[in-house]
Structure 1
């Protein structure tokens, strides 16, 4: 079965097309991204602006057509922190449905955490034992801990890299004093969540997911993405501390020149690194393995698991979009991945 997964995040909208079957390894066929920065389109009253909503609708419409032209039988569409936090989210979702035919499902923070944990568990298997996972998005931080496919603890905190950059580090480069203030504040903010996590049990394996962690690992010497997803990549607490001292003195333009950091992510990589540091410190973790699977893969796996009863995680069949033929807009570039990786 060919599936499309449309992920509307705080920074980007991402369409992943995969060939998947129950009991098999989902094979990525193409990946299409657009940088919308929806979190930056939230106005002073907490609402997504008309301009931001228009950009979202246009992108969802284009990506739905890509999914159709790619032969997807179904399109699973979901939104996370930026849309979830917008005070006019119901109005925006209604517009998306009316103008594109796509019903965006808004995932709660704990649901994000649970689905990501499922993907991590399937990647590493039962032999990994108890897993703690850390995921840093643009708007939120997700933490999970468990020995089964459903974590015993699944938490979400409003500590995303983009959110903290806007609120704490407006200068470019960020001032040393502001960096230290954010560092101290984060230690306090993650303390209670870390206690709840560790109360469930100490991990046999510490894992990290998300583009932020992949970039941080690459900056500390991990293999590039071109080496494939099965190459082991790690991020150490020592390497992370050294990296923060280096990148926090650089401008966003200079950070964008570093291998592994895109121009879109460069402005918020310092805040992301500080969240990673605070999380690892609070959880007493000296090293994390970087997992290539995360939320999108978790949603695919849960859909395949529930195929027998026709439901999909939360929201049921209403979240599954049937797609028909359509032309792919020339304005969107789709990168085809090597399915053998």
Structure 2
């Protein structure tokens, strides 16, 4: 069947149309997205602004028309940290449901981690052993580890690249004092959960998903996305550490000129590399493999698993 997945993230809102069948890998058929940056529209005590709400409604209306044109039978919609943390999030989604008929499910941080873990497990299979999965989003960092399709532990921390950029940096490039302060904060936050994750056992295979990790791997020499999903891409700790110092001292424009970095994501990359570097260091990881599947694929797979006859 052809399904549409509507992903309402902190930075980007994305409609992914896939051909999906139980027991088969979901095959992307069409993609439509926009950088609405909803997290930047949280004002006055984390209230989503009218402008942000209008932008979201327009995107959903456009996405529904596109989905119909593409022959989509079912649209699954979910939202992550920006809507989850908006004090008027439920009110906004109720209004959207009334206007568009779309029922948006708000995922908790641990749910994001578990669904992303499911996608990574299906991509790499059982031979990968115990997985450690890391995902840096716009609003949060998700960490999950386990031997099965459901992780033993799933953690979400408020360490998204967009969130940290807005709250900690005041200039382009950020002053060294702010970089040091953010680095200390990030390492303290991650350090609190390392013991909870590793007590289940050391990972046989450490994996990263998300735009931030993909960009960092590309900067460090990984193959471009044009070479396809099946090309193996890795990010070593040595390469990341070298780039961590360079990226925080670059301007937005200088980062945007690097391979694989978009102008819209460049401002967040300094905070993103601080989180990535801290995570690899505190979990004592020499390298990460980049997985092309993440949260959206996890949502699709879970839906297929729950279909009658599964």
**Same-fold call, TM cutoff 0.5:** yes
Gaps of 5+ in 1: 311-341
Residue equivalent to 1:313: none
Does the residue aligned with 1:154 lie in a helix, a strand or coil? strand
Residue equivalent to 1:82: 82
How far apart are the structure 2 equivalents of 1:85 and 1:117? 22
Per-residue CA distance 1:72-128 (angstroms, 9 max, x = gap): 000000000000000011110011111111111100111000000000000000000
Per-residue CA distance 1:220-251 (angstroms, 9 max, x = gap): 00000011111111111111111111121211
How far apart are the structure 2 equivalents of 1:84 and 1:43? 14
Asked whether the 8 Å contact 2:218–2:224 carries over to 1, the reply is yes
How far apart are the structure 2 equivalents of 1:64 and 1:114? 27
Asked whether the 8 Å contact 2:247–2:273 carries over to 1, the reply is no
Residue equivalent to 2:110: 110
1:144 and 2:180 equivalent? no
Residue equivalent to 1:70: 70
How far apart are the structure 2 equivalents of 1:239 and 1:169? 24
How far apart are the structure 2 equivalents of 1:231 and 1:309? 34
Deviation at 1:44, TM superposition (A): 2.4
Does the residue aligned with 1:308 lie in a helix, a strand or coil? coil
Residue equivalent to 1:9: 9
Residue equivalent to 2:277: 277
Per-residue CA distance 1:174-218 (angstroms, 9 max, x = gap): 112211221111111111211111011100000000011000000
Does the residue aligned with 1:307 lie in a helix, a strand or coil? coil
Instruction: State the TM-score, normalizing by the size of structure 2.
Output: 0.98
Select between 229-238 and 2-11 the one with higher mean Cα deviation. Answer: 229-238
Per-residue CA distance 1:1-37 (angstroms, 9 max, x = gap): 0000000000000011000101111110011110100
How far apart are the structure 1 equivalents of 2:174 and 2:242? 16
Residue equivalent to 1:163: 163
How far apart are the structure 1 equivalents of 2:96 and 2:237? 42
Residue equivalent to 1:289: 289
1:240 and 2:240 equivalent? yes
Gaps of 5+ in 2: none
1:263 and 2:286 equivalent? no
Instruction: State the TM-score, normalizing by the size of structure 1.
Output: 0.89
Deviation at 1:170, TM superposition (A): 2.3
1:186 and 2:195 equivalent? no
Asked whether the 8 Å contact 1:194–1:279 carries over to 2, the reply is no
Residue equivalent to 1:330: none
Deviation at 1:163, TM superposition (A): 0.2
Deviation at 1:296, TM superposition (A): 0.3
Written as runs of structure 1 = structure 2, the 5 A alignment for 1:295-334 is 295-308=295-308
Report how many residues are paired.
310
Q: 1:101 to 1:309 in 2, by over 3 A?
A: farther
